[in-house]
Structure 1
Amino acid sequence: MTTEAIESDASDGSDGSDGSGVRFSVLGPVRAWRDGEPLASGSPQQRALLAALLLRDGRTATAPELIDAIWGDAPPSQALAVVRTYVSRLRKRFTPDLLVSDAGGYAIRLPRPEVLDLGLARTLAAGADKARAAGDRTRARNLLARALDLWDGEPLAGIPGPYAETERTRLSEWRLQLLETRLDLDLEVGQHAEAVSELTALTAAHPLQERLRELLMLALYRSGRQAEALAVYADTRRLLADELGVDPRPELSALQQRILNADAELAHTEHSEHSAPPSIQVRPAQLPGTVPDFTGAADRVQELRDILVSGESQVVAVSALAGIGGVGKTTLAVHVAHAARPHFPDGQLYVDLQGAGSRPAEPTAVLGAFLRALGTPNAVIPDSPAERAALYRSTLDGRRVLVLLDNARDAAQVRPLLPGAPGCAALITSRVRMTALHEAHLVDLGVMSPEEALQLFTRIVGAERVGAERQAALDVVGACGFLPLAIRIAASRLAARRT
């Protein structure tokens, strides 16, 4: 598929596939779909095998290579038989010619690279390189933004084994490289004010990445914040001296001197000679990754999804019995939000309001973060809480955005964060019932049924082990009070113990 076709698909909300056949994702949880419907991909170890085959780009992996990828130096005694079982199960879920046996090993032969989200990201990144080389920086930036949108949290989330850990690191590093390039292009096309907040967060997360600090200094300088740009250099020099005993790289020192000298060339961008750069509507995608072993509550998931999509209620509040934590409010809300995500093409916002803690999040600060995520320049965000809330509602007008407000303290904390525009929706979790939100659809969550609890436990530990000791498994989930969080912790600890 050409980058032109991919860019057209992405602009109308497509994922780059033609809507039929099988497609896969590894830039987040390892998942598979057929004809748009999700496919069960089995236990973490089975997903580790699937990931190992998908990441080989069609090359054959021998059975010993797969065993090493999944278990490393401590494989089970029947590892080869387990691998064959995993392969057999996966074949039943996919088309017959997809997972093939070849030369004593196995391979996944995709009909085209874009069937895998990583392949689509590579195609978009390659198109961005060509567009930049041809001088079309705006198109290059847009292609990179579409590539970065494919990430859905941590790559290979929840996949065990040394191979997955290595690939997880590699994919995270590549994402950071793409992000640096996209931010560089942001500055080249004159979006320096918009880039400041993102670069500030990135330099905090990656304090030793000098290139990010260089971009932040340049973005601040072009935004008329010369003193702050110089302060970034001073902080960088101090950090490098304390942590590594080295000086900043020459490029960073040269930029500091040019800022001190007010070098006119630093202010030049591709669009600096025009009146203003074109406005680009930002589409945030802030939802946390959903758990691949989500269990139970199928009717409730469908009920909440239908309410969000239908527009009958703009606010859906999910509340638990008072004082109960670990009942699965966040897991359910995130799962519902992902199910409804295609119906909110203009983005999804997420925040943990920390309502159960000693320092709940301030709505004013959350509004500022939401406005920046929606593309509002930091310089035009007002200080007044009421003005921020008004600007937030105005920014959402005409868009279809889903807002997930997790772990809310009370209705007063939530109300300024609710969208006022038709077509938007909010999904709220809290330990208290949001009775003060008269427009909300309230749902109370209780503990899981014994059957659902055992099903969740089995998905994490494995059917073979649970089947051999069913009564012991029932005792464990009972001791966990049938609370999903407690069951997940206990099951994960048991799954990590092979004997």
Structure 2
Amino acid sequence: MDRDHGPRVPEQRVPTPSDVIDLRFSVLGPVRAWRGGDPLPSGSPQQRALLAALLLRDGRTATAAELIDAIWGDDPPLQALAAIRTYASRLRKVLSANALVSESGGYAIRIRRECLDLAVAHELAVDAEKARAAGERNQARALLDKSLGLWDGEALANVPGPYAESQRVRLDEWRLQLLETRLDLDLEAGCHAQAVSELTALTAAHPLRERLRELLMLALYRSGRQAEALAVYADTRRLLAEELGVDPRAELSQLQQRILRADAELAQPSNEQAQVLHIAQPAQLPATVPDFTGRVAFVRELGGKLATAEGSIMAVSALAGIGGVGKTTLAVHVAHEARPHFPDGQLYIDLQGAGSRAAEPVAVLGAFLRALGVPDASIPDSLAERSGLYRSTLAGRRVLVLLDNARDAAQIRPLLPGTAGCAALVTSRVRMVDLAGAHLVDLDVMSPEEALQLFTRIVGAERVGAERESALDVVAACGFLPLAIRIAASRLAARRTWTVSVLADKLADGRRRLDELQAGDLAVKATFELGYGQLEPNQARAFRLLGLADGPDMSLTAAAAVLGLPLHETEDLLEALVDTSLLESAAPGRYRYHDLVRLYARSCAERDERPEETEAALSRLLDFYLATAARVYGMERPGDRLVDHVGPTVHGGLTFDDQREAQDWLYSEANCLLASARQATDGQRLRLAVDLLWAAQDLAESGANSKLYEIAAASVGDAARTSGDPRTEGRARTSMTNVHLVAGRYEHADEEAKEAAALAQVADDPAPVYWSDNDRGIIAFNQGRYAEAEEHLRRATEGSRADGNLPGEASALCNLSRIHLSTGRVAQAIALAEQGVAIYDRIGHTLRLANARYALGVALTQAGRHSEALEQLTEALDRFETSRQRLWEGTTHFRIAQAHYSARRTARAAQHAEQALAIGCIGGDRTRANVLITLGRALSSLGQADRARACWLEALALHEASGAVEAQEVRELLEPLSAA
């Protein structure tokens, strides 16, 4: 930021009359005035020029001669002095005599500083620089955003005169300086992906401003787009040579060389920045238990190892032992004691290594990066990129990472900080002998003395002291496992009428307990058997049945469906299970099992429940999810017949006050809902799961849940293919068609859609037939088979109409519009899209109305009606954002970019294309390639030929990999550049 902070606005004398206090003025845009909230007339352009000149004099008096020169320059009218007096008189009447004063043959405006937007912007800029100097980067960014937000277009807009012109130039330069400073802070904060779009537009508007080019190169490089970053330099060098006959400045050349060397320090903020840029200081450690007992030697040993991280190495300690031996308790306790050595924060994750679905490192890294302050938009997709960004973010910081319940060394290697000053503490059931450089600790059961001490702390010294021998019998029966001791002691502490000997007697029967107290997980199972054996029958049933469901946790309403009980009764049972430590309260109204407890609960269900009851419980859960998801679907898509074609449900489903609440439920329950569908293998549950995937199809297109939806659809599809039920298989294949379409895998999508239609006809299931025709029309269109696409879509229109499915008919019409557009029938394309919009508008179908507006916007773009096209596409974009359809949001940015490009607004086109790349699009790699084509065209028009070439080369690689016909278009774009 410029040391002058831009325009100077010295302290002004503050008038006190009330008619001045309420005045406000703006010059960072049109020159305007308000009293309170009411706008005041500012008069003719020359009168506004006089007002602007006085406002920019900082309260000082301007002589009549100075004002004449400001407004007319070297060619004033004959009556200039009289005109100045007239303008001043009119302003005085509007503002008040106390605000506009006459003195020494001139005029002055005397107001408080906060009454002028320029003064406020200046103060914010000064405060931002102070915050930046103090290391408060987030605050500095926020202050600069506020300062820049005061601009309302061009400063002194439409104000005549040489003085206003010179001030416009000055203020525009200052605004650019503020923008550069804020963008610099964005890059320091890791927001490089977001910055690319804005910098692309700014470099197009100010092509000779090298600092913007430098920031764009850095943002592209940190976004993994090295070729484009180097292309920016080549474009800049050529432009400067052609326009000014000079070479790029040294800083730009040095940055190019560092990019060519893949300078490791360039991929992250400087050391100085990293030390002060503490965007977030996570403190994720779970609470340590107040009755932590013993383990003195281990605490000392591990604490000493962690302390070495303050030196020159990264400390890694790995605790191994059987389940229930107290690994997590010890690790959390040691981590809390070591916190002073890690002032920059502590990260924690349960890796669920003991379960059937251990946490994926790529997902864990996403959570860690968010906890460290990295925005979602800046988090890359691949494991390698996330791991690299994670290590870069931790560079120069001292952070402790507690990786609990790891599956193996392969799972945790990407999660290790890899930098001096940081440390990792790992717990696992297995010894990680293949974890290079790790300090390994084998944690055994407690000694008898430690076990008795832990038992006593929980139960109370008075009760244990009276029955010491019985207490020793109890801890011995628990195998001296800390978790078993804690559960047993908690049972006793909660039952004041029991004696220790009563508990000892219960544990003395070793017919099952001894079998359970074997090496490995059997010891943990024995510990859980103790708690389970104390449950009331209805509590035990709840414990068994709730453990059957997959998913990270379970809502109270879903649990009630599993148990077939009212909400209040279900809640009482769940809270009782929480009290026994057999269930955890994840959040108000949500519950979860520890992974080992879940396994134990399932073993109890296998042993104690009839198979038909376990099947019924899981069917009730799917029934509840289907009923509620269908209600959400119906609220979002009024008139859509899908809800009439899903199988009947026993559960009525939840009710919602509005679409927002319904949508919140769908997305918050996505993991659990899809996990429940994945569990279905045959019979009634499989039919429910197939219909559930139909009703929850928004998750396939959301972006955030698309992958989970695909996994569930594939699992259900596999089961459906062996079911022998054509209705079930046909519907499952319809869901897989949607999955492949979203991902741009058109050949697979077409195969699934073809099979779905054939099976649906056999099963006399009409809806999948016309849905498949609609899908196959989209597929054929994307593959350039327009006649075939048109035939499919006409059948889809007729089938929807016959079924009374107005949204289905509208969808097919909008897709037909795309066919007509591609075959040169632009007017018909617009008419078909308008029919689709009209149908959706008539029935109040808000989400798919966005799709219809999207189709209409594309058609209007091709017709050259760019303003209308942008209006339709912008409305579609707003709805996609509201509906959380992230992939459609990105795709619409792409179409907006095309509309701007067609209208020759190339900078805006490049900006929206960048946003599409940052978000992602429906259609996967193929659509990404088309976005890159449009971005390249825009950049080429802006004179950035090398960066355009980089975009087109990537697009060509993507299209050639998929065999897309657009590859030839890219080759033709590249051919002139290759010849040059």
- Is structure 2 residue 65 aligned with structure 1 residue 64? yes
Larger strand share, 1 or 2: 1
What's the offset of the Cα at 1:278?
5.5
CA contact (8 A) 1:195 1:219 kept: yes
- Is structure 2 residue 918 aligned with structure 1 residue 379? yes
- Is structure 2 residue 120 aligned with structure 1 residue 26? no
CA–CA distance in structure 2, aligned partners of residues 239 and 151 of structure 1? 30
Alpha-carbon distance change, 230 to 371 in structure 1, aligned in 2, over 3 angstroms: closer
CA contact (8 A) 1:237 1:247 kept: yes
AA aligned opposite 1:159: V
What's the offset of the Cα at 1:371?
13
What's the offset of the Cα at 1:378?
3.8
What's the offset of the Cα at 1:265?
0.8
Give RMSD over aligned pairs. Answer: 3.2
CA–CA distance in structure 1, aligned partners of residues 243 and 264 of structure 2? 34
CA–CA distance in structure 2, aligned partners of residues 254 and 37 of structure 1? 53
- Is structure 2 residue 36 aligned with structure 1 residue 35? yes
What's the offset of the Cα at 1:164?
0.7
CA–CA distance in structure 1, aligned partners of residues 173 and 265 of structure 2? 31
What's the offset of the Cα at 1:377?
7.7
Deviations 1:389-443 (A, max 9, x none): xxxxxxxxxxxxxxxxxxxxxxxxxxxxxxxxxxxxxxxxxxxxxxxxxxxxxxx
What's the offset of the Cα at 1:137?
0.9
AA aligned opposite 2:369: S
* Partner of residue 46, structure 2: 45
What is the correspondence of 1:137-176 to structure 2 with a 5 Å cutoff?
137-176=137-176
Deviations 1:233-259 (A, max 9, x none): 111111112222221111111111111
What is the correspondence of 1:180-329 to structure 2 with a 5 Å cutoff?
180-269=180-269, 270=277, 275-276=369-370, 277=373, 279=375
CA–CA distance in structure 2, aligned partners of residues 158 and 210 of structure 1? 29
CA–CA distance in structure 2, aligned partners of residues 37 and 223 of structure 1? 47
What's the offset of the Cα at 1:72?
1.2
* Partner of residue 865, structure 2: 360
Give secondary structure in 2 for the equivalent of 1:38.
strand
What's the offset of the Cα at 1:272?
9.3
AA aligned opposite 2:865: P
CA contact (8 A) 2:124 2:147 kept: yes
CA–CA distance in structure 2, aligned partners of residues 54 and 272 of structure 1? 39
CA–CA distance in structure 1, aligned partners of residues 923 and 916 of structure 2? 16
CA contact (8 A) 1:197 1:378 kept: no
What's the offset of the Cα at 1:380?
2.1
CA–CA distance in structure 1, aligned partners of residues 194 and 52 of structure 2? 36
AA aligned opposite 1:192: H
Percent identity of paired positions between Structure 1 and Structure 2: 66
Q: Which runs of 5+ in 2 are unaligned?
A: 1-19, 270-276, 281-367, 378-856, 874-891, 898-907, 928-980
CA–CA distance in structure 2, aligned partners of residues 280 and 160 of structure 1? 46
* Partner of residue 105, structure 2: 104
Alpha-carbon distance change, 43 to 36 in structure 1, aligned in 2, over 3 angstroms: same
- Is structure 2 residue 129 aligned with structure 1 residue 129? yes
Give secondary structure in 1 for the equivalent of 2:39.
strand
CA–CA distance in structure 1, aligned partners of residues 146 and 161 of structure 2? 30
CA contact (8 A) 1:190 1:271 kept: no
Q: Could you tell me the TM-score, scaled by structure 1's length?
A: 0.55
AA aligned opposite 2:39: P
Alpha-carbon distance change, 254 to 94 in structure 1, aligned in 2, over 3 angstroms: same
CA contact (8 A) 1:196 1:216 kept: yes
What's the offset of the Cα at 1:379?
2.2
Alpha-carbon distance change, 354 to 62 in structure 1, aligned in 2, over 3 angstroms: farther
CA–CA distance in structure 1, aligned partners of residues 173 and 185 of structure 2? 19
Deviations 1:279-307 (A, max 9, x none): 599xxxxxxxxxxxxxxxxxxxxxxxxxx
CA–CA distance in structure 1, aligned partners of residues 919 and 278 of structure 2? 20
What's the offset of the Cα at 1:209?
0.8
Give secondary structure in 1 for the equivalent of 2:24.
strand
Alpha-carbon distance change, 357 to 51 in structure 1, aligned in 2, over 3 angstroms: farther
AA aligned opposite 1:143: L
CA–CA distance in structure 2, aligned partners of residues 212 and 173 of structure 1? 13
Give secondary structure in 2 for the equivalent of 1:91.
helix
AA aligned opposite 2:64: A
Alpha-carbon distance change, 126 to 225 in structure 1, aligned in 2, over 3 angstroms: same
Give secondary structure in 1 for the equivalent of 2:159.
coil
Give secondary structure in 2 for the equivalent of 1:101.
strand
CA–CA distance in structure 1, aligned partners of residues 27 and 253 of structure 2? 39
* Partner of residue 338, structure 1: none
Alpha-carbon distance change, 357 to 260 in structure 1, aligned in 2, over 3 angstroms: closer
Alpha-carbon distance change, 354 to 106 in structure 1, aligned in 2, over 3 angstroms: farther
Give secondary structure in 2 for the equivalent of 1:275.
helix
Larger RCO (CA under 8 A, 6+ residues apart): 1
Give secondary structure in 2 for the equivalent of 1:42.
coil
CA–CA distance in structure 1, aligned partners of residues 248 and 165 of structure 2? 31
Deviations 1:124-173 (A, max 9, x none): 10110100010111111111111111111111111111111111111111
Alpha-carbon distance change, 225 to 108 in structure 1, aligned in 2, over 3 angstroms: same
* Partner of residue 78, structure 1: 79
CA–CA distance in structure 2, aligned partners of residues 235 and 245 of structure 1? 14
What's the offset of the Cα at 1:177?
0.8
CA contact (8 A) 1:193 1:378 kept: no
Structure with higher Rg: it is 2
CA–CA distance in structure 1, aligned partners of residues 130 and 231 of structure 2? 36
CA–CA distance in structure 2, aligned partners of residues 370 and 249 of structure 1? 28
AA aligned opposite 2:43: G
Give secondary structure in 1 for the equivalent of 2:369.
coil
CA–CA distance in structure 2, aligned partners of residues 23 and 70 of structure 1? 23
AA aligned opposite 2:220: L
* Partner of residue 476, structure 1: none
CA–CA distance in structure 1, aligned partners of residues 861 and 916 of structure 2? 32
CA–CA distance in structure 2, aligned partners of residues 56 and 209 of structure 1? 29
CA contact (8 A) 1:20 1:36 kept: no
CA contact (8 A) 2:59 2:109 kept: yes
Q: Could you tell me the TM-score, scaled by structure 2's length?
A: 0.29
Give secondary structure in 1 for the equivalent of 2:158.
coil
Give secondary structure in 1 for the equivalent of 2:48.
helix
CA–CA distance in structure 1, aligned partners of residues 192 and 183 of structure 2? 9
AA aligned opposite 2:209: Q
AA aligned opposite 2:61: T
Larger helix share, 1 or 2: 2
What's the offset of the Cα at 1:117?
0.7
CA contact (8 A) 1:128 1:143 kept: yes
Give secondary structure in 2 for the equivalent of 1:257.
helix
What's the offset of the Cα at 1:224?
0.7
CA–CA distance in structure 2, aligned partners of residues 371 and 275 of structure 1? 28
Alpha-carbon distance change, 278 to 180 in structure 1, aligned in 2, over 3 angstroms: same
CA–CA distance in structure 2, aligned partners of residues 238 and 376 of structure 1? 27
Alpha-carbon distance change, 231 to 271 in structure 1, aligned in 2, over 3 angstroms: farther
Aligned length in residues:
297
CA contact (8 A) 2:189 2:374 kept: no
Alpha-carbon distance change, 215 to 119 in structure 1, aligned in 2, over 3 angstroms: same
* Bigger shift: residues 270-279 or 37-46: 270-279
AA aligned opposite 1:210: E
Deviations 1:102-123 (A, max 9, x none): 2211111112x12111111101
